[in-house]
Amino acid sequence: MNHHHHHDDAHIEGQGKLSEREKLGKLLEYWIKHNIEHTKTYLEWSKKADIEGLKDVVRLLKEASEITMSINELFEKAIKKL
């Protein structure tokens, strides 16, 4: 299993000339969406782990999803400060 992606600002290059503040805003929005996708994956795998009887793994994956969403709350606060 190989999940590879870039965590840089390559996805905003086609946006024309953006200020650093605008780039940061775009990055924060991207990171929020990206984290939501990761959270969905964690929860999907927690269901599979539950089927396998891996209760500790289920708990940890759910905790990881909650932490990831907490990070998104910080990103949303950062966007409001821009």
The answer to whether residue 45 is domain-embedded is yes
Q: Which two tokens stand for residue 58?
A: 């289920």
Q: Which two tokens stand for residue 63?
A: 């905790």
The answer to whether residue 32 is domain-embedded is yes
The answer to whether residue 6 is domain-embedded is no
DSSP state of 15: G
**Residue 31: domain span:** 17-81
Q: Tell me the pLDDT tens digit for each residue of 46-68.
A: 999 999 999 999 999 999 999 99
The answer to whether residue 62 is domain-embedded is yes
Domain tally, the chain: 1
pLDDT at 9: 58
Q: Give the whole-angstrom CA distance, residue 20 versus residue 24.
A: 6
Interval 62-78 mean pLDDT: 98
Q: Tell me the pLDDT tens digit for each residue of 1-54.
A: 555 555 555 566 666 799 999 999 999 999 999 999 999 999 999 999 999 999
The answer to whether residue 4 is domain-embedded is no
The answer to whether residue 39 is domain-embedded is yes
